[in-house]
Amino acid sequence: MDSEAWNEEQRLRNMRKEWEAASAGEHDYYAVLNVSRRATTEDIREAYRRLSRLFHPDRHHDAEKQEWARRQFHIIQRAHEILTDPAVRAAYDQLGEQGISMGKTVGYKLHSVKDLQDKFEREARMRRIENVDEWVQSQSEITLSVNGSEVVSPSAAQSSQQNANNKGTHGSGGLVMQQLFMSHSFTASLSDTVSGTIEGRMLSRNSNASASNGVVRVMIKRTLGPQTWISFTTPVLPPHVVAVEALHCPSLGTFYQTKVEQHALDIYTPPAITVRAGRPLSPYSTVFIAAATGNQYVLSSMWATSSARTLSKQPTRVSRKPSSVTIGITGARSTDEELGANMTATSNQAYIQAWYKRKIDMYFSVTGGLLVVGHNPQPVPPSGNATRRASSTSPASALAAPLLLGDISFNIDMVGEIDRHTKLGWKVDLGIASGVTLTVHLRRFRNSVNLPILLTPMLELELAIYASAIPMVVALALHYFVLKPRRRRLIQRQMDMLKDEQRYQLSQQQRQAQEAVHLMADSVGRARKQALAANGLVIESALYGDLPFGIAAQDTNILRAAMAKFGASRTALSTTDEPRACDVTIALHALVVGDQLVIAGSGSKQFLPGFYDPTFGAPKSLFVRYRFKGKIHEVIVKDDQALAIPMREHCIE
């Protein structure tokens, strides 16, 4: 995958997120007090008292410093008030700044932490639903199947003309619509745990008007817990297929699903039961199995006369569902590669399918698949033996019987991202018996349009190569020479616009950080002298930002290389057109307590007193060079990584 494009896109998203937070004046109050999210109330109060000794306005006599201290102390005091109130803290943990006011209004009505968490989770869920209701609550699909073989394939056109001459008719000579399928569904939340869905489907065939049909279904789904839900589906119009489905996911990657369908509202048709189960086979793969009874089995004499068991070719209102067994595996070799395979056996056929997906970059992917189908030919028995012969067929007997090769097909699917919510794809299916079919598919949010075009009913290698190779070459050329440069220009333009808008925020943050450093400078100076005299912990240098060291952010002795680059890095930081890092030596030393420095992880360090974000949207790190017991130590950690010093492995002498 193109890591450069991924980094640019990720940086733009980070910039947007940080800009929204900065514009709203949001703070990470845990970082303000330098405590972890699991800190107790006593830990929070102790951190508040420690910072109050530095920033309380009464400890400063200069008028200008008193004004600086008031601004700093206001943030510290607000962090203390929020994190020491259980109701407000629970709201803040769930919803951030937006949940603080709500936590103050509902806290007195609730009695336990679980009640608070449930309340705020419901509020957060409702906010998410309101934000994406227009997009994700509606889903539609349109598939228009077209026969274009007479236009594309000379042999198919000649064969069609001969058939037309034999029948005394004229061939179509152009594109012919074979089938139109349309579906649309709308989902609405009826309560916190219940949702309702209305779905309509229609199928129209050009060659057989009697086979065209439509259905409208209503589904009620109830969530029983974080891992379990159950649904009930019933049709409004015939055919009356009633279904009950349940899903349980006891752990990540493990699922158990059961579905019961009744294809006729009478006692003469047995229900079709399908059971699926899956579990992780390794951290990168999942194995699954599915078994379906179909509706042609006999456990009672009254089911022997079911219309689902008749071998007549006449259409019936009851769907005939054979029994089947499926076993398969899916996995990912890396973030760029996915693959899977499955095998299915039914009462009259078996097939093996495998697929492999490769991401060229974050906007373009290619998928290849192979399908082998085997048929079990069953002669139609006399009418008197139809029931007995039909009941003797099962997936096991289908596998035991000799199979005839039905088809071998290969498909290749290319998908490109037009924008963040729109994807355009081009798929080619090549089959010995099924011919060559080209499918253009467009998907935006949860709405999709598919256009399968039959190029030839027989396998023509020349046409198959043209249909596969030409679109792929065009797509790759369009992607690398047109779309990719265009995306980079758009991303760079948006990043420049955000940087221009952020310059005022940066100056404000820098000014507040400098004020905090001035307020703590005297106290830190005295602490440094005492630590030097006692041979204790002294912060020699500290930088925070997009550090140009060229080494990984990790706690290891290879940081010895940073010593030679430290001076060059300081020079680069001071001469660059844009700020890349800020000096936080004094601010970091102010956090030293008893020859120890601990910074909690899981949050950005830009909210620590005396820190600010010098590299808007870029990944940040903290470099620390310190002296302990007369020896030089160095460490560099990521922005959200915890830091604890002194550590023996940081020593470079």
Greatest CA separation for the chain:
110
Find out whether 295 and 322 touch, Cβ atoms under 8 Å.
no
Cα atoms in the Cβ-side hemisphere of radius 13 Å centred on 330:
8
- The reported pLDDT for the residue numbered 169 is 63
Identify the band that residue 72 occupies on the pLDDT scale cut at 50, 70 and 90. confident
Q: Indicate the angle between helix axes 113-136 and 98-106, nearest 10 degrees.
A: 130
| Cis? peptide before 646, omega within 30° of 0 | yes
Question: Mean of the pLDDT values across residues 50-60?
Answer: 85
**10 Å Cβ neighbour count for 112?**
9
Buried b (16+ CB within 10 A) or exposed e, 344-353: bbbbebbbeb
Please tell me the distance from the alpha carbon of residue 552 to that of residue 554, in angstroms, as a whole number: 6
**Candidate from 17-31, 49-63, 216-230 with smallest mean pLDDT:** 17-31
Per-residue pLDDT for 277 more than 70? yes
Q: Which residues pair with 176 in a beta bridge?
A: 147
Residue 48 placed within a domain:
yes
d(CA 281, CA 639): 34
The pLDDT confidence band at residue 324, using thresholds 50, 70 and 90, is: very high
Read off φ and ψ for residue 335, nearest 5 degrees: -70, -15
What stretches of 335-421 adopt beta strand conformation (E)? 337-346, 349-361, 364-375, 404-419
Q: What is the mean pLDDT of residues 363-373?
A: 88
Confidence check: pLDDT of 436 > 80:
yes
Residue 520 inside a domain? The answer is yes
Residue range 326-348: mean pLDDT, rounded: 90
Q: Which residue has the higher pLDDT, 63 or 4?
A: 63
Between 160 and 407, residue with greater pLDDT: 407
DSSP labels, 10-55? HHHHHHHHHHHHHHTT---HHHHHT--TT--HHHHHHHHHHHHHHH
3-state secondary structure of 311: coil
Cβ of 330: how many Cβ atoms within 10 Å?
Answer: 17
Average of per-residue pLDDT across 139-161: 82
Order the strands of the 621-628 sheet from edge to edge: 581-583, 538-545, 621-628, 631-638
- Residue 177's CB is within 10 A of a number of other CB atoms, namely 13
Give the pLDDT confidence score for residue 310 in this predicted structure: 64
In 96-175, which ranges are continuous DSSP H helix? Answer: 98-106, 113-136, 149-152, 154-167
Q: CB atoms < 10 A from the CB of 278, how many? A: 19
With respect to residue 44, please indicate whether it lies within any of the assigned structural domains. yes
The alpha-carbon radius of gyration of the chain (Å, integer) is: 34
First to last CA, the chain: 40
**Is residue 55 domain-resident?**
yes
Helix (H) or strand (E) holding 107: none
336 Cβ contact partners less than 8 Å away, ≥ 6 residues apart = 1, 358, 359
The pLDDT score that the predictor gives to residue 579 is 65
In this structure, are strands 435-444 and 538-545 parallel, antiparallel, or unpaired?
unpaired
Say what the pLDDT of residue 146 is. 92
- pLDDT single digits (tens) 623-651: 999 999 888 999 999 888 889 999 988 88
Determine contact, residues 110/87, Cβ cutoff 8 Å: yes
Domain span at 70: 3-84+497-650
DSSP state of 312: -
> How many domains is the chain built from?
1
Going by pLDDT thresholds of 50, 70 and 90, the confidence category of residue 565 is very low
Residue 432 in any domain: the answer is: no
Residue 55 burial by Cβ neighbours in a 10 Å radius (0-12, 13-18, 19+): buried
Question: For position 379, what pLDDT does the model report?
Answer: 46
- Provide mean pLDDT across the span 40-59: 87
Alpha carbons 185 and 371: distance in angstroms, whole number? 31
Residue 210, pLDDT > 60, answer no
Q: Compute φ and ψ for 431, nearest 5 degrees.
A: -135, 145
In a domain, 252, yes or no: no
Question: Residue type for 156, please?
Answer: A
pLDDT at position 126 over 70: no
Most trustworthy range by pLDDT among 14-28, 103-117, 235-249, 466-480: 235-249
Q: Please report whether residue 564 resides in a domain.
A: yes
CA 65, distance to chain mean position in Å, is 48
- 634 by Cβ neighbours in 10 Å (0-12 / 13-18 / 19+) ranks as buried
Strand-pair category, 138-147 with 447-456? parallel
Task: Give pLDDT tens digits for 74-104.
Answer: 888 888 888 888 888 887 877 676 666 555 5
- Cα distance between residue 164 and residue 536, in whole Å: 98
The per-residue pLDDT for range 580-614, each reduced to its tens digit, is: 788 899 999 998 988 889 888 767 888 888 898 88
Give the rounded distance of the alpha carbon of 276 from its chain centre.
Answer: 23
Number of DSSP helices (H) and strands (E) in the chain, helices first: 15, 23
Residue 516 lies in a domain: yes
Residues 518, 310: Cα–Cα separation, whole Å: 90
Q: Is 477 exposed, middle or buried (0-12, 13-18, 19+ CB in 10 A)?
A: exposed
Considering the entire predicted model, what is its pTM?
0.60
Instruction: Flag whether pLDDT at 394 surpasses 60.
Output: no
pLDDT higher at 509 or 315: 509
